[in-house]
Structure 1
């Protein structure tokens, strides 16, 4: 029995392509050390290259002589999925790098766009702009038909423009432009008028509803924006607390309604809570977690074993969040049951794929990857 670890990309990242057609070259993850001899007569009728989509073999007519696959979007929107090529040679099959292909798209209509809004001076306001798009469209904001000039009171939050402490000069007509480069499409939203009254008005305290992620996974060195805008007059005071992992909560010195974490480090990781002073029912939380790349500490190696014996393939990796390992045999998901299971080594340092009572059916190429 021979087991071969194929060192292709560990993460099957999404590749966005144009809305109609694409071509995928076959990039093998492990090439033979020398050119393989010709296939025997019984196999010569088979093309050396073939492709699978989500585990199912695709029509060989779409595969060129050099292994390139022509992929077209179907009328029903199908065609997306994980593609993987393979190369036949005298020793078996070499698997290529998997590709998660998606066809780019963008709707014709905006699901949210700026609407006519009137507020009093000194209050925050959020204008929305959202359109269904894959990959997510990049958003450009316009004021009175011109690209919006940024300042310290303007914050772009994914699908919203947040204006803090509104002033009379913020009055105007707002719209947005959504652009999807892979789809080669760009759309301009309907516009809405923002009127800022140059007066103040007594108003109870509250939290302005804005888009935010409560679970934030980000690598070290990132910039993280935690929005917690407060409405009300007189202006309420905001209190921030940080609870590091496994430690007690402590109050932060800042009272800013937009907390910006720059060049994120381990000492900034934890649960952030913002709350209106003396009204702790008005609160919002953000769980900021630093991620670390996957590192393979014990990769599998090729093995030859006797029939009816037991074989072990090591596959241990570290990372944050903890990696989820998926095993494959000859390009097909491996069913873990009965004789084939995952076990932890005696010293607890390694995770192993264990195959007991090896038979000839177990021979093949075993590999793994970490899905995103």
Structure 2
């Protein structure tokens, strides 16, 4: 007669329902978890005499259980926009966590080369030292640990730049009563604000003038418009100016 096989875990008999049907001596553990860890032994019982024979073999089952999770940000969404002055050091933060720990791959749709001798990938972001104007653009951090979904985070880096006047108005000779348009082209980041002075006075207070972005329009030139005209370009990093002489005939 075929004996009945029993299994024990840490000395406690397991129910027959856990045995594999039709396969003597097999124990099946479905969806193994930490509760299944322990020492396993087996015994054969004679159903007629009730005699039990325990086998000396012991199986030590260890279950390493890790909660697998896709990448995510632990506290809050990191910054999506950063600004830095030339020469500064900036860190584009992308501190993703997950199980297993995700790795970050950086790219950019508009910065040709983000891996150079001034950049370094840290555990929590991309560090750029001695920031240069060519570093300005969008940076994409892709966090992946093999568990979907992949976490994608974009950061826009702006490199601040002092204003520079590229082209100021030239000295002019204008007839009284004529219209006159003056232009002052400047660059910088953020884009500089342009304002004008007539002989040290705010040109926007003159009823004959109108300021349109980088242009000063004088609808009807008057005698008081003669003299020194200045255009100024200003942003948060500083201010520059250009001046010229306007003569009214």
TM-score bracket, shorter-length normalisation = 0.5 to 0.7
Question: Which residue does the alignment assign to 1:131?
Answer: 186
SS at match of 1:166: coil
Q: Compute the displacement of 1:188 (Å).
A: 1.7
Cα contact 1:138–1:179 (8 A) shared by 2: yes
Deviations 1:243-299 (A, max 9, x none): xxxxxxxxxxxxxxxxxxxxxxxxxxxxxxxxxxxxxxxxxxxxxxxxxxxxxxxxx
- The separation in 2 between residues aligned to 1:117 and 1:107, in whole angstroms, is 25
Q: Compute the displacement of 1:120 (Å).
A: 1.5
1:91 aligns with 2:147: yes
User: Structure 1's 70 and 158: CA in aligned 2 closer, same or farther, altered over 3 A?
Assistant: same
Question: Which residue does the alignment assign to 1:194?
Answer: 246
TM-score by length of 2: 0.54
Please give the residue correspondences for 1:1-372 in structure 2 after superposition, counting only pairs within 5 Å. 17-21=84-88, 22-26=90-94, 36-39=98-101, 48-54=103-109, 58=115, 62-65=120-123, 67-72=124-129, 77-92=133-148, 93-96=150-153, 98-106=154-162, 110-181=165-236, 184-189=237-242, 191-197=243-249
Cα contact 2:163–2:235 (8 A) shared by 1: no
User: Structure 1's 130 and 95: CA in aligned 2 closer, same or farther, altered over 3 A?
Assistant: same
SS at match of 1:136: coil
User: Structure 1's 112 and 71: CA in aligned 2 closer, same or farther, altered over 3 A?
Assistant: same
Cα contact 2:85–2:160 (8 A) shared by 1: yes
- The separation in 1 between residues aligned to 2:108 and 2:189, in whole angstroms, is 20
Q: Compute the displacement of 1:53 (Å).
A: 2.8
Q: Compute the displacement of 1:173 (Å).
A: 0.8
User: Structure 1's 72 and 159: CA in aligned 2 closer, same or farther, altered over 3 A?
Assistant: farther
Deviations 1:114-133 (A, max 9, x none): 32212122211112211233
SS at match of 1:78: helix
- The separation in 2 between residues aligned to 1:153 and 1:23, in whole angstroms, is 50
Mark the runs of 5 or more structure 2 residues left unpaired by the alignment: 1-79
Q: How many positions carry a matched residue from both structures?
A: 165
Q: Compute the displacement of 1:161 (Å).
A: 0.9
Task: Return the structure number with greater relative CO, CA threshold 8 A, min gap 6.
Answer: 1
User: Structure 1's 64 and 16: CA in aligned 2 closer, same or farther, altered over 3 A?
Assistant: same
TM-score by length of 1: 0.38
- The separation in 2 between residues aligned to 1:64 and 1:38, in whole angstroms, is 18
User: Structure 1's 63 and 135: CA in aligned 2 closer, same or farther, altered over 3 A?
Assistant: same
- The separation in 1 between residues aligned to 2:82 and 2:231, in whole angstroms, is 26
User: Structure 1's 57 and 164: CA in aligned 2 closer, same or farther, altered over 3 A?
Assistant: closer
- The separation in 2 between residues aligned to 1:161 and 1:19, in whole angstroms, is 32
Mark the runs of 5 or more structure 1 residues left unpaired by the alignment: 1-12, 29-34, 40-46, 198-372
Larger-gyration structure (1/2): 2
SS at match of 1:131: strand
